[in-house]
């Protein structure tokens, strides 16, 4: 088995996938803020994962795993030194100073790049025939940062596992709240696919040593030939995550879905139809029943709602992206249109408030 050098932009959510990859003995470099980098370099990171049959989550300590991890800032990276690059930041962050320049270097390096965002990067959408990616640019905070990527070297990994940073812990601690699987689509370059297949197998085989013996851990990496499997997340985002956002604040994902189950089903099924209209097979997607059952355990508001509530001037606009894709196919849904309009209003209010305070 080969040992790979892997770069991941984003040490918060990125540490979850990193913790699983480290079982294979690979070297991982995390790109993050200076304070985070210093902490990870001195203390590693911790990921707590609930395991069925155990009363308490198990803790993965990066210092005790077979691979090696280090952390750096954006200016200290040559992407050409890596075999695989993961993008695990929120979409608006890729236009920020430092990150923008690093992303350009990643694009020109042609190293296989795996996005771990709810928002598929524009190069990924360019690789889907029948979709006009130019018309999708209004959904992106800084669409120009994606111009130099070759779609063949970009894939999408659906960030289905849910995780938070516990507010009373250091920033190198991550708590998994929904231990589902990462779903990654194939690259159009075989080198990237070889890496993904190896990582999938290693994560499957990994066992954590405990006093009771080796235990299998949830949160796997699942590799798919279809480019549409990761887009199954779209329906979940529209039925749950973005409907956590309300006019005056936010609500839990459970309430967003289960307070009006028929409305949730309606928007969910509509988004599945949008995915089918651009080439997905229905069986590649996740049924509403399965999603609704999982959403029953989501007791916190989604990250988009929390960011809006905290005054963010930009958030990931997967809602607008789905709306724009649907319009290209002559499709619309009133709930989706209401969500997009509400997010527009909330963002505009945040921007005005920030401008007034400046």
Strands 182-185 and 221-224: parallel
What would the pLDDT profile of 330-352 be if each residue is shown by its tens digit? 999 999 999 999 999 999 999 99
Q: What is the pLDDT of residues 92-142, one digit of tens each?
A: 999 999 999 999 999 999 999 999 999 999 999 999 998 999 999 999 999
Three-state DSSP at 89 gives: coil
| 8 A C-beta contact, residue 265 and residue 288 | yes
Instruction: Report pLDDT digits (tens) over 219-273.
Output: 999 999 999 999 999 999 999 999 999 998 999 999 999 999 999 999 999 999 9
Supply the pLDDT for residue 225: 96
The predicted-structure confidence for 183-222, as pLDDT tens digits, reads as follows 999 999 999 999 999 999 999 999 999 888 899 999 999 9
- Predicted pLDDT at 271: 98
Which pair of structure tokens corresponds to residue 275?
Answer: 């995915």
What pLDDT was estimated at residue 248? 86
Query: pLDDT value at position 100?
Result: 97
How confident is the model over 295-310, as pLDDT tens digits?
Answer: 999 999 999 999 999 9
Cα angle 161, 44, 303; round to 5: 30
- β-partners of residue 68 are 27
pTM of the complete model: 0.96
Residue-wise DSSP of 192-260: HHHHHHHHHHHHHH-EEEETTEEEE-S--EEEES-SSGGGGHHHHHHHTGGGGB-SSSB--HHHHHHTT
User: CB-hemisphere CA count at 13 Å for 51?
Assistant: 17
What tokens were used for 206?
A: 């990994």
What Cα–Cα distance (Å) separates residue 139 from each residue in 98, 229, 322, 325, 343? 22, 21, 9, 10, 12
Rounded distance, CA 161 to CA 182, Å?
Answer: 7
Rg (CA), the chain: 20
pLDDT for 1: 82
Condensed to tens digits (0 to 9), the pLDDT of residues 16-56 reads: 999 999 999 999 999 999 999 999 999 999 999 999 989 99
């Amino acid at each position: 088995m080969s040992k790979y050098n892997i770069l991941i932009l984003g040490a918060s959510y990125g540490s979850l996938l990193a913790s699983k990859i480290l079982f294979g003995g690979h070297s991982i470099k995390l790109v993050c803020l200076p304070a985070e980098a210093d902490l990870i370099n001195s203390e590693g990171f911790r990921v707590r994962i609930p395991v069925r049959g155990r009363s308490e989550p198990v803790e993965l300590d990066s210092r005790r795993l077979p691979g090696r991890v280090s952390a750096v800032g954006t200016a200290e990276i040559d992407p050409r030194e890596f075999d695989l690059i993961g993008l695990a930041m929120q979409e608006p962050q890729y236009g920020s100073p430092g990150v923008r320049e690093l992303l350009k270097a990643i694009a020109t390096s042609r190293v296989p790049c795996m996005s771990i965002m709810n928002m598929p990067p524009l190069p990924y959408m360019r690789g889907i025939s029948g979709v006009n990616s130019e018309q999708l640019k209004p959904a992106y905070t800084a669409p120009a940062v994606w111009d130099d990527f070759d779609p063949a070297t970009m894939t999408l990994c659906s960030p289905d596992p849910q995780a938070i940073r516990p507010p009373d812990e250091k920033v190198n601690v991550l708590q998994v709240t929904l231990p589902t699987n990462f779903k990654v689509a194939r690259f159009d370059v075989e080198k990237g696919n070889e890496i993904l297949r190896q990582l999938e197998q290693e994560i499957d085989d990994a066992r954590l040593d405990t006093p009771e013996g080796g235990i299998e851990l949830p949160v796997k990496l699942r590799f798919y030939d279809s480019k549409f499997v990761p887009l199954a997340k779209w329906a979940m985002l529209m039925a749950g995550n973005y409907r956590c956002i309300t006019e005056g604040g936010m609500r839990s994902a459970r309430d967003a879905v289960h307070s009006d189950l028929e409305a949730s089903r309606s928007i969910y099924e509509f988004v599945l139809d949008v995915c089918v209209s651009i080439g997905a097979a229905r069986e590649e997607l996740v049924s509403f029943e399965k999603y609704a059952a999982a959403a029953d355990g989501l007791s916190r508001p989604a990250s988009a709602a929390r960011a809006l509530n905290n005054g963010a001037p930009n958030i990931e606009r997967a809602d607008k992206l789905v709306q724009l894709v649907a319009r290209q196919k002559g499709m619309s849904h009133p709930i989706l249109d209401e969500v997009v309009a509400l997010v527009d209003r909330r963002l505009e209010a945040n921007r005005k408030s920030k401008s007034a305070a400046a």
